[in-house]
Chains A and B, each alone.
Chain A
Amino acid sequence: MSLQLFEYDEENNQYLAISEDGLQSNPIQTTHDGTNGEVIEKKLFIQNDNPQEFYTNIELQAKPDSKVRVGDINYPEAFIGYKIIFKETQPTESEWASVESGNKEVIPNIGTTDLADTSYKPLWIQVSIPGGTKVGAYRDITIELVCEQNALGA
């Protein structure tokens, strides 16, 4: 039990946990037009499911932290862009532009030494695919979470 990432399933009104460590049973999935390129923004949630713990120094980052090269022979310098912003409402264009792909997003502490916080907190990811990207599925990017886990009262 710990911090977990979720996506919200509107059809069934439930939060679905994102799979980890290459299991790929429920990855953070986006589908893009490879011909023209496409940018997709998706809302996720982070949640502490342990009422006895609170979390500090929380960071989320897409890895590898440099852009992943996906270009074909016609677009040799094309890269996937992957950004994360912790925010309730969908970030604006300028907010996205202000962060670099592979940014390390710092999340405010979840809970305090007196009280755990088990609410679902929204964040946003933006995945950008350039035009001329080959058809395929990329699974070699992950979202890395690093945090400090603390027991209540500590």
Chain B
Amino acid sequence: MIIQKSFDVKIRIVYPHLTKNIPKQDTDKITVNTLLKYEPQKAINTYNALEPVAEEKKDESNLDKLTKDFQEVIKEFENIEKIADSRLKNIQHEYDLQDQNNTPVIEAQEYLFGEATGIVTYEQYKQASELLALTQNEMARRAKEKKNVA
């Protein structure tokens, strides 16, 4: 009697340099989420792997940790931004009110702040930038509305 059998094979492909900092007990549970934790760019590149490296469920604790790490980084950037703002406050630009070449600056300062003083501070510059961004966003929003109505 002819017998035919088919035995299962599984070949796992890993990137060891991504796992060098992963504790031994986790090395058999390497998932895309683990890659995200240790090598984000490479995880993105391997996202289209043939199939998940491991069959187990998503490791929620790794995602939580990653989220926390990102939040901490953002917080640090915000702190840096505050320090920069505090230092930049002392910077100001003086200009000649009598010089006709400065007419645009004079008019802008008058429109925005009620008076042209011959000195533009960093704070005023920031306010003007924010207003410009708001204005542009509003213009874009209205243009989109108009387009939708049409």
Contact A135 B13 (CB under 8 A): yes
The 0/1 profile, CB within 8 Å of B marked 1, for residues 110-154 of chain A is 000000000000000001010001111111011111111110000
Contact A5 B3 (CB under 8 A): no
- State whether the Cβ of A23 lies closer than 8 Å to any Cβ in chain B: yes
The CA-CA distance from A146 to B2 in the complex, in Å, is: 7
CB distance from B118 to the nearest CB of A (A): 61
For chain A, the count of residues having a C-beta within 8 Å of the partner chain is 45
Q: Among A23, A33, A139, A148, which residue has its beta carbon within 8 angstroms of that of B9? A: A139
Contacts of A26 in B (CB 8 A): 8
CB distance from A82 to the nearest CB of B (A): 8
Interface residues of B in 84-105 (CB under 8 A from A): none
Contacts of B11 in A (CB 8 A): 29-30, 32, 80, 127, 129, 137-138, 141
The CA-CA distance from A41 to B53 in the complex, in Å, is: 21
Indicate whether A134 sits within 8 Å of B16 (C-beta atoms), given known contacts A18-B7, A142-B6, A143-B9.
no
The CA-CA distance from A26 to B9 in the complex, in Å, is: 9
The CA-CA distance from A35 to B19 in the complex, in Å, is: 12
Q: Among B9, B35, B52, which residue has its beta carbon within 8 angstroms of that of A62? A: B9
CB distance from B8 to the nearest CB of A (A): 4
The CA-CA distance from A22 to B9 in the complex, in Å, is: 9
Contacts of B60 in A (CB 8 A): none
- State whether the Cβ of B61 lies closer than 8 Å to any Cβ in chain A: no
Contact A145 B14 (CB under 8 A): no
Contacts of A129 in B (CB 8 A): 11, 13
- State whether the Cβ of B17 lies closer than 8 Å to any Cβ in chain A: yes
Task: Identify the interface centre among A2, A18, A136, A138: most chain B CB within 10 Å of its CB.
Answer: A136
- Identify the stretch in B43-51, B66-74, B135-143 within 8 Å (CB) of chain A at 4 or more residues: B43-51
Q: Among A21, A32, A142, A147, which residue has its beta carbon within 8 angstroms of that of B3? A: A147
Contact B49 A146 (CB under 8 A): no
The 0/1 profile, CB within 8 Å of B marked 1, for residues 11-32 of chain A is 0000000111111111111111
Contact A134 B3 (CB under 8 A): no
Task: Identify the interface centre among A31, A80, A133: most chain B CB within 10 Å of its CB.
Answer: A31
Interface residues of B in 6-64 (CB under 8 A from A): 6-17, 35, 46, 48-54
Contacts of A134 in B (CB 8 A): 13, 46, 48-50
Q: Among A21, A23, A34, A146, which residue has its beta carbon within 8 angstroms of that of B13? A: A34
Contact A21 B6 (CB under 8 A): yes
- State whether the Cβ of B148 lies closer than 8 Å to any Cβ in chain A: no
Contact B51 A3 (CB under 8 A): no
Besides A29-B12, A136-B51, 10 new A-B residue pairs in contact (Cβ under 8 A), listed by A number: A24-B8, A30-B10, A31-B12, A31-B13, A134-B48, A136-B49, A137-B11, A137-B13, A141-B11, A145-B4
7 residue pairs bridging A and B, Cβ less than 8 Å apart: A29-B9, A30-B12, A139-B10, A142-B8, A145-B5, A145-B6, A148-B3
